[in-house]
Amino acid sequence: MFEFIVSISLLALGGMLAIVLFPRAGMCQLAGQICAVSGSAFGLVGALHVLVTGDAVSLSGVWQMPGGSFHLEIDVLSAFFLLPIFGLSIVTGLYGRSYFAGHGGVASAASWFHLNMLTAAMALVIAAHDGLLFLLAWETMALSSFFLVIFDDRKAAVRHAAWTYLVAAHLGTAFLLVLFVLLGSIAASSDFAAYGAALKDHQALRSSVFLLALMGFGVKAGIVPAHVWLPEAHPVAPSHASALMSGAMIKVGIYGLVRILTLLGTPETWWGWLLIGVGALSGVLGVLFALAQHDLKRLLAYHSVENIGIILLGIGIGVLGLARGMPLLAVIGFASGFLHVLNHSIFKGLLFLGAGAVQRAVHSLELEELGGLLKRMPWTGTFFLIGAAAIVGLPPLNGFVSEFLLLYAGFLAVLQPAAAVAVAGLIVLVILGLIGGLAAACFAKAFGIVFLGSPRSAEASEAREVARPMRASMAVLALLCIAIGLGAPLAVASLAGVVAQMTGATVGTTSAELAIVARPLALAVSVFAVLIAVAALAWALRARRLAVASARRGPVWGCGYLFPSPKMQYTASSFAQPLTTQFHLLIRNRETFVPPQGYFPTASSYASDSGDPALHLLFVPTFRWFDRVVTRLNVIQHGHIHVYILYVAATLIALLIWESF
Partner 1 sequence: MYASQSIIAVLALALSGALFCLVLPRPHHVLKTIVGVSVVELLLALNIWAAVLGPNGFVTAADQWFYIDAFSSFHIVVLTLVFALSSAFASIYFTHEAGGLVFTAAIARRFGVLWLGAEAAMLLVLMSNNLGIMWVGMEATTLLTAFLISLHPSRLSLEAMWKYLIICSIGIAFAFMGTLLAAASIQSDGGAGADALFWTKLASAEAHLDPTLMKFAFVFVLVGYGTKAGLAPIHSWLPDAHSQAPAPVSAMFSGFLLNTALYCIMRFVPLVQHAMGQDFASGLLIVFGTLSILVAAGFIVFQRDAKRLLAYHSVEHMGIITLGYALGPLGGFAALFHTLNHSVCKTLAFFAVGRLGQRYGSHEMHTITGALRADRLWGVALLISFLALIGVAPFSIFMSEYQLLRAAVGASAWLTLVLFLAASGVVFVSALRHMINMVFGTASRHDRGGRDGKLAVPIVVVAAGLLLVLGVWMPLSFYHALSSAAAVLAVRP
Partner 2 sequence: MFPLIETIHAVGLLTCFALLATSRIGACIRWLSFQGILFGMVPLIVHDDGLTTRVLLLAGGNIALKGIAFPWILLKLRARANYNREVQPFVSFVMSILCGILILALSVWLTQEMKPALAKAPFVMLDSSIFLIFVGLFLMISRRNALMQVIGYLVLENGIFVFGVITVVGTPLLVELGVLLDAFVGVFVMGIAIYHITREFGSMDVDRLTELRG
Partner 3 sequence: MPAPGSFALPLCALILAPLLLGIVNRTKAVIAGRRGPPLLQPYWDIAKSLRRGAVYGEATTWLFRLGPVVGLAALVAALLVMPFGGLGAPVSFSGDMIVLVGLLALGRFATVLAALDTGSSFEGMGAAREMHFSALAEPALLLALATLARVTGSFALTPVYQSITIGAWADALPTFALVAVTLLIIALVENTRIPVDDPTTHLELTMIHEVMVLDHSGPDFGLIQYATALKLWIFGALLVGLMVPVRSGSAWFDGTAMLVGMVLLAGVIGMIESAMARYRLVYVPQFIVAAATLSAVAFIIRLV
SS3 of residue 498 by DSSP: helix
Taking each helix axis as running N to C, give the angle between helix 105-127 and helix 76-100, from 0 to 180 degrees, rounded to the nearest 10: 170
Minimum CB distance to partner 1, residue 136 (Å): 5
What distance in Å separates the CA atoms of residue 278 and residue 470, rounded to the nearest whole number?
36
CB 469 within 8 Å of CB 591: no
* Smallest separation, CB 278 to partner 3 (Å): 19
Sole window of 66-74, 287-295, 421-429, 649-657 interacting with partner 2 (rule: CB under 8 A): 649-657
Distances (CA, A) of 247 to 243, 431, 491, 599: 5, 23, 19, 52
> What residues between 503 and 542 interact with partner 3 by CB under 8 A?
517, 519-520, 523-524, 526-528, 530-532, 534-535, 538-539, 541-542
Which of 553, 599, 659, 661 touches partner 1 (CB under 8 A)? 659
| Phi-psi domain of 366 (left: phi exceeds 0; alpha: psi -120 through 50; beta: other) | beta
- Using CB under 8 A as the binding rule, the residues of this chain from 581 to 640 that contact partner 3 are 582
Alpha carbons 304 and 227: distance in angstroms, whole number: 10
Closest approach of partner 3 to the CB of residue 228, in Å: 25
182, interface contact from partner 2, partner 1, partner 3, none, CB < 5-8 Å by kind: partner 1
Cβ closest to partner 2, residue 602 vs residue 634: 634
Q: Does 625 bind partner 1 (CB under 8 A)?
A: no
622 lies in the site for partner 1, by CB under 8 A = no
CA–CA distance, 428 with 332 (Å, rounded to integer): 13
Site for partner 2 in 616-645 (CB under 8 A): 634, 637-643, 645
H or E stretch including 622?
Answer: helix 620-631
In the complex, minimum distance from the CB of residue 241 to partner 1, in angstroms, rounded to a whole number: 17
Q: Which of 201, 634, 635, 661 binds partner 1 (CB under 8 A)?
A: 634
159 is a site residue for partner 1 (CB under 8 A): yes
By CB under 8 A, is residue 603 in contact with partner 2?
A: no
Q: Which of 646, 654, 655, 658 binds partner 2 (CB under 8 A)?
A: 646
Distance CA 119, CA 86 (A): 7
| Beta-carbon contacts of residue 105 (< 8 Å; ≥ 6 apart) | 22, 23, 24, 25, 28
Query: Residue 295, interface with partner 1 (CB under 8 A)?
Result: no
Q: Cα–Cα distance between 264 and 206 in angstroms, integer?
A: 6
Judged by CB under 8 A, which stretch of 74-82, 173-181, 362-370, 393-401 contacts partner 3? Answer: 393-401
**Which of 541, 477, 329, 307 is CA-nearest to residue 415?**
329
By CB under 8 A, residue 181 contacts partner 1? yes
Contact in structure between 147 and 109 (CB atoms under 8 Å)? no
Nearer to partner 2, 603 or 641 (CB): 641
Please, what is the Cα angle at 437 between 376 and 219, to 5 degrees?
90
Indicate the residue among 174 and 618 with the shorter CB distance to partner 1. Answer: 174
Smallest gap from Cβ 524 to partner 1, in A, equals 47
Is 619 near partner 1 (CB under 8 A)?
no
Angle between helices 327-362 and 507-548 (to 10 degrees): 40
CB of 623 to partner 2, least distance (A): 20
SS3 state at 111: helix
Whether 579 contacts 441, CB under 8 Å: yes
Give the residue with the Cβ less far from partner 3, 55 or 609: 609
- Tell which one of 61, 66, 325, 554 touches partner 3 (CB under 8 A): 554
Which residue in 61, 156, 547, 562 binds partner 1 (CB under 8 A)? 156
CB of 359 to partner 3, least distance (A): 21
Closer of 541 and 645 to partner 2 (Cβ) = 645
Instruction: Please work out, in degrees rounded to the nearest 5, the angle formed at the alpha carbon of residue 179 by the alpha carbons of 173 and 184.
Output: 125
User: Where do the H-state alpha helices sit in 72-155?
Assistant: 76-100, 105-127, 131-149
Backbone region of residue 69 per phi and psi (left: phi > 0; alpha: psi in -120 to 50; beta: other values):
beta
The residue from 120, 126, 127, 150 that contacts partner 1 (CB under 8 A) is 150
> Dihedrals φ, ψ of 607, to 5°?
-140, 145
DSSP-derived secondary structure letter, 395? T
* 59 phi/psi in degrees, rounded to 5: -145, 120
Q: CB-wise, 537 or 653, nearer to partner 2? A: 653
Based on the shown chain and the rule CB under 8 A, indicate whether residue 204 belongs to the binding site for partner 1: no
Q: Does 618 bind partner 1 (CB under 8 A)?
A: no
Contact range with partner 3 by CB under 8 A, out of 192-200, 243-251, 372-380, 586-594: 372-380
Among 27, 30, 181, 429, binds partner 3 (CB under 8 A): 429
Query: Is the distance from CB of 234 to CB of 620 less than 8 angstroms?
Result: no
Q: In the complex with partner 3, which residue's Cβ is closer, 125 or 397?
A: 397
Among 516, 568, 649, 654, binds partner 2 (CB under 8 A): 649
Region binding partner 1 by CB under 8 A among candidate stretches 133-141, 263-271, 283-291, 350-358: 133-141
Burial group, residue 521, by CB count within 10 angstroms (0-12, 13-18, 19+): buried
Furthest-apart CA pair in the chain: how many Å? 109
At residue 191, φ and ψ (nearest 5 deg) are -90, 140
Partners of residue 72 on adjacent β-strands: 59, 128
DSSP state of 556: P
DSSP state of 647: H
Closest approach, Cβ 613 to partner 3, in A, equals 20
Which range binds partner 1 by CB under 8 A, 131-139, 203-211, 468-476, 479-487?
131-139
Q: Binding of partner 3 at residue 32 (CB under 8 A)?
A: no
Closest to partner 3 by CB, 363 vs 545, is 545
Q: How far is the CB of 657 from partner 2 (least distance, A)?
A: 8
Site for partner 1 in 33-92 (CB under 8 A): 63-67
Q: What does DSSP say about strands 57-61 and 605-610: parallel, antiparallel, or unpaired?
A: unpaired
* DSSP reduced 3-state for 20: helix
Q: How far, in Å, CA of 124 to CA of 102, rounded?
A: 32
Q: Are 308 and 286 in contact (CB under 8 A)?
A: yes
- Asked whether position 485 contacts partner 3 by CB under 8 A, the answer is no
Q: Which does 626 bind (CB under 5 to 8 A by kind): partner 3, partner 1, partner 2, none?
A: partner 1
Q: Choose from partner 2, partner 1, partner 3, none: what does 603 bind? Cβ within 5-8 Å by kind.
A: none
Judged by the rule CB under 8 A, the positions of this chain that interact with partner 1 are: 63-67, 132, 135-136, 138-140, 142-143, 150, 153-154, 156, 159, 162-163, 166-167, 170-171, 174, 177-178, 181-182, 184-185, 623, 626-627, 630-631, 633-634, 636-637, 641, 644-645, 647-648, 651-652, 655-656, 659
